[in-house]
Structure 1
Amino acid sequence: MYLLGLALVLTLLKYLEIGPVANWSWWWVLAPYGVTALWWAWADSTGYTKRKAMEKIEQRKQDRINKHKDALGMRPRKPR
């Protein structure tokens, strides 16, 4: 996501001819879009995105369980 943000900022700077980016070749300005596409392709093919989504869901589930235990006056277990 950071690469996409960088690509958008560089494109805007090049288009508006601001700073040293105005003198750069368009290839250098558009290269982060290609790197972003490669990153997303790799992340999807290796299961990285799905694994991160599952970790986030599990963490939210555990936080919810701990919150309910705390409300009942039970101390949540420490991770082993």
Structure 2
Amino acid sequence: MLFLGIGIVLLALKYLAMGPVAEWSWWVVLSPFGLAMVWWWWADATGYTKRKVMEREDKRKQARIDKSREAMGLKPKKPR
């Protein structure tokens, strides 16, 4: 997402001919989009994205369990 944001800013600066970016080559300006594509490919190929989603779901699930235990007057389990 960082590469995409940088690419959009550089593209806008190049299009509007602002600052030193106006003199840069289009290859330099568009390179963050290529880096974003490589990042997304790597994250999907290695399972990084799925792992992060599963970690987030596990944290939400544990928070719900802890909240229910507190409501019943039990102490929540300590995180592992």
Short-chain TM bin = over 0.9
TM-score, L = length of structure 1: 0.93
TM-score, L = length of structure 2: 0.93
Spell out, residue by residue over 1:3-24, the C-alpha distance to the aligned partner (whole angstroms, 9 max, x if none). 1111111101111111111111
What letter matches 2:73 in structure 1?
G
What letter matches 2:11 in structure 1?
T
Unaligned runs of 5+ in 2: none
Task: Tell me how far apart the structure 1 counterparts of residues 69 and 3 of structure 2 sit (CA, whole Å).
Answer: 41
Spell out, residue by residue over 1:8-52, the C-alpha distance to the aligned partner (whole angstroms, 9 max, x if none). 111011111111111111110000001100010011011110111
Give the Å deviation of 1:79.
Answer: 2.0
Task: Tell me how far apart the structure 1 counterparts of residues 67 and 3 of structure 2 sit (CA, whole Å).
Answer: 36
Runs of 4+, deviation exceeding 3 Å: none
CA RMSD between the two structures: 1.0
- Equivalenced residues, count: 80
Task: Tell me how far apart the structure 2 counterparts of residues 28 and 54 of structure 1 sit (CA, whole Å).
Answer: 36
What letter matches 2:60 in structure 1?
R
